[in-house]
């Protein structure tokens, strides 16, 4: 028996690929559409006139009031578990200091770490939860979230436990990642031992206690070297964690090569990326996750070369990078506007980048990322006429309604508004 019939959709748009290796970013559009949901999955997608003929009588109905229906958005790179804020640093940067200078003076990630290490799990949960709620209001049904502001293992463990608690309290799907971000201040004299402990004790423990499903490392000048990052990620792989890398944010750090060599699920940031590195990533099937809001917010680096990445056959996803230092936003739609303007991506490429290719970055594209028979019924509804408008309205765009697994988990209290 079908569980829910969603009707009165003015336009349904979804990425579609005949086979998973196909790179052409086709978007299927169905005007006057409807969706039939059985349990938590999509049973049928089609035009309303034909679908209404086949639905069983008395099927509960949801009237979409002429909204645009898209797959639930996937934010595949965020750091939303932290306490306090770093608004001062934002203004210091605008007054001329660089991100790396602020970090070298004990600010940046170390400043967040001091606050996290002084906080309880409950406080971390309480301060972080609203960020997940705002993300949901932006149409995000699956969110990847990293630890990374504890630095010391005790702090990291606290963040991963806070994430597990948050997972119980939010309707979205959560992918948890253990991020080895920078060396803790207290271990400056002790770098080798820190790295050894991470490899032999911490990473296997994260995997065996199921605290995260993936491992990430900040491979950059001032964070971890190629060799250190390689050791962490290899230990992660050996413990069956998925692998991803913060790569090439401030220079050619070796992160992109490393991602290709280890066949990481994604390489993220990629502001400094040449054609050789792009070729390696494309060949290894690594998704390039670009984070244009962090480039915007830091105000200093080039935007990633998304056009060249696409031309070389790379899958490109877009994520918020939500974090207190370089990207204080939960708005994935805002990131679309940034990528449209600065990376010259088309409406179809943008849609793919926050749905099916973002799902691919999380290696979850067989379940989520498109509105197709058999996929999980994660849908975002918008008071917009078409996909072109999704990046055109910027700064305040919210979803009108959201379903996760066929359950309505969010409705804008002013859903009558049309953008």
* Residues binding Fe ion (CB under 5 A): 321
Tokens found for residue 345:
């991506």
Region 80-119 residues binding ligand NIG, contact defined as CB under 6 A: 108-109, 112
Tokens found for residue 88:
């001062």
Considering CB distances under 5 to 8 angstroms, the limit depending on partner class, which of Fe ion, ligand NIG, none binds residue 324? Answer: ligand NIG
The smaller minimum CB distance to ligand NIG, of residues 116 and 310, is found at 116
Q: Which residue's structure tokens are 């413990």? A: 239
370 binds ligand NIG per the rule CB under 6 A: no
DSSP 323-388: BTTTB----HHHHHHHHHHHH---HHHHHHHTTHHHHHHTT-TTTSSS--TTSB--EEEES-SSTT
246 binds ligand NIG per the rule CB under 6 A: yes
Considering CB distances under 5 to 8 angstroms, the limit depending on partner class, which of Fe ion, ligand NIG, none binds residue 292? Answer: none
218 binds ligand NIG per the rule CB under 6 A: yes
Per-residue contact string for residues 177-196; x = within reach of ligand NIG by CB under 6 A:
--------------------
Shortest CB 70 distance to ligand NIG, Å: 26
Instruction: Report the residue closest to ligand NIG, judged by CB.
Output: 325
Q: Which residue's structure tokens are 């949801």? A: 62
In this structure, the strands spanning 140-146 and 73-75 are parallel
Identify the CA nearest to 8 among candidates 381, 409, 399, 403. Answer: 381
Which one among 242, 253, 266, 323 touches ligand NIG, defined by CB under 6 A? 323
Q: Which residue's structure tokens are 């940067």? A: 93
Identify the CA nearest to 214 among candidates 169, 246, 256. Answer: 246
Identify the CA nearest to 296 among candidates 267, 268, 255, 337. Answer: 337
* Length of the chain measured in residues: 419
Shortest CB 179 distance to ligand NIG, Å: 8
Shortest CB 329 distance to ligand NIG, Å: 12
DSSP state letter for 254:
S
294 binds ligand NIG per the rule CB under 6 A: yes
Shortest CB 253 distance to ligand NIG, Å: 11
Considering CB distances under 5 to 8 angstroms, the limit depending on partner class, which of ligand NIG, Fe ion, none binds residue 242? Answer: none
Enclosing H/E stretch for 6 = strand 4-16
The smaller minimum CB distance to ligand NIG, of residues 296 and 382, is found at 296
Shortest CB 290 distance to ligand NIG, Å: 12
Considering CB distances under 5 to 8 angstroms, the limit depending on partner class, which of Fe ion, ligand NIG, none binds residue 294? Answer: ligand NIG
Tokens found for residue 286:
């690594």
Q: What whole-number distance in Å separates Cα of residue 96 and Cα of residue 157? A: 35
Which one among 321, 349, 357, 365 touches ligand NIG, defined by CB under 6 A? 321
Tokens found for residue 160:
């991963």
Region of 15-23, 130-138, 150-158, 320-328 interacting with ligand NIG (CB under 6 A)? 320-328
Shortest CB 327 distance to Fe ion, Å: 7
Considering CB distances under 5 to 8 angstroms, the limit depending on partner class, which of ligand NIG, Fe ion, none binds residue 338? Answer: none
Q: What whole-number distance in Å separates Cα of residue 177 and Cα of residue 163? A: 10
288 binds ligand NIG per the rule CB under 6 A: no
Shortest CB 305 distance to Fe ion, Å: 19
Handedness of CA 128, 81, 292, 387 (dihedral sign): negative
- Contact positions toward ligand NIG, by CB under 6 A? 79, 108-109, 112, 218, 246, 249, 294, 321, 323-326
């Amino acid at each position: 028996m079908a569980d829910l019939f969603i009707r009165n959709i003015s336009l349904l748009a979804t990425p579609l690929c005949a086979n998973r290796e196909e790179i052409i970013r086709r978007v299927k559009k169905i005007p006057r559409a409807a969706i039939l949901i059985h349990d938590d999955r999509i049973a049928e997608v089609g035009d309303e006139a034909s679908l209404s003929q086949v639905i069983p009588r008395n099927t509960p109905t949801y009237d979409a009031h002429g909204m645009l229906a898209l797959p639930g958005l996937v934010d595949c790179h965020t750091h939303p578990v932290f306490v306090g804020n770093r608004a001062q640093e934002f203004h210091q940067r605008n007054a001329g200091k660089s991100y790396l200078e602020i970090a070298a003076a004990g600010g940046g990630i170390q400043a967040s770490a001091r606050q996290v290490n002084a906080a309880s799990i409950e406080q971390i949960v309480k301060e972080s939860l609203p960020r997940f709620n705002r993300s949901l209001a932006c149409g995000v049904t699956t969110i990847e979230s990293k630890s990374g502001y504890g630095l010391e293992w005790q702090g990291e463990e606290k963040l991963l436990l806070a994430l597990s608690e948050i997972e119980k309290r939010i309707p979205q799907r959560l992918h948890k990642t253990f991020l080895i971000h920078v060396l803790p201040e207290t271990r400056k004299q002790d770098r080798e031992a820190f790295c050894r402990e991470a490899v032999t004790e911490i990473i296997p423990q994260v995997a065996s206690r199921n605290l995260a499903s993936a491992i990430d490392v900040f491979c950059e000048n001032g964070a971890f070297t190629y060799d250190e990052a390689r050791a962490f990620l290899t230990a992660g792989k050996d413990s069956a964690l998925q692998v991803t890398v913060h790569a090439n944010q401030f220079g050619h750090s070796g992160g992109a090569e490393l991602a290709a060599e280890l066949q990481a699920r994604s390489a993220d940031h990629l502001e400094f990326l040449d054609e050789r590195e792009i070729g390696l990533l494309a060949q290894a099937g690594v998704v390039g996750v670009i984070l244009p809001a962090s480039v915007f917010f830091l105000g200093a680096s080039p935007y990633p070369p998304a056009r060249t990445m696409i031309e070389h056959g790379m899958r490109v996803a877009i994520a918020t990078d939500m974090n207190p230092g370089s990207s204080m936003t939960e708005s994935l739609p805002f990131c679309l506007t940034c990528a449209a303007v600065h990376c010259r991506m088309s409406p179809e490429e943008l849609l793919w980048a926050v749905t099916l290719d973002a799902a691919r970055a999380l290696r979850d594209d067989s379940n989520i990322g498109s509105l197709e028979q058999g996929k999980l019924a994660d849908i975002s509804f918008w008071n917009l006429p078409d996909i072109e408008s999704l990046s055109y309205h910027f700064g305040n765009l919210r979803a009108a309604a959201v379903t996760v697994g066929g359950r309505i988990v969010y409705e804008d209290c002013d859903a009558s508004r049309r953008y």
